Amino acid sequence: MSMCAPPLAVSDEDRKELERLSRSVSEPVRVVRQARALLLAAAGTANEETARRVGVAPNTVRAWRRGFAGGGIGWLGTVAAGVGPPPPQGPAQ
């Protein structure tokens, strides 16, 4: 038997903002993908199907769900510490 995550709890206000972000052409791609994935999660779509639809790994969808559940709409677009390239090291001032 497959375990499915329950639908993500999203307030009406957050849902409206997620819908706006999911259609944006000016927001970073990361934010648009997160918004689309979170809307699918709120609709009860399985993590694997959500991942397939937005083009990321299922573990990424799980992490986004956790991030949103813990940080709300303001969490979108944040990058976890230690992810990505290190900041540039400029000359000592």
Report, in angstroms and rounded to the nearest whole number, the Rg of the chain calculated over CA atoms.
15
DSSP of 18-46: HHHHHT-SSS-HHHHHHHHHHHHHHTT--
Q: What pTM, to 2 d.p., does this model score? A: 0.82
Q: Give the confidence band of 2 by pLDDT, cuts at 50, 70, 90.
A: low
| Tens digit of each residue's pLDDT (9 = 90 or more) over 34-73 | 999 999 999 999 999 999 999 999 999 999 999 999 999 9
Mean pLDDT of 12-27: 96
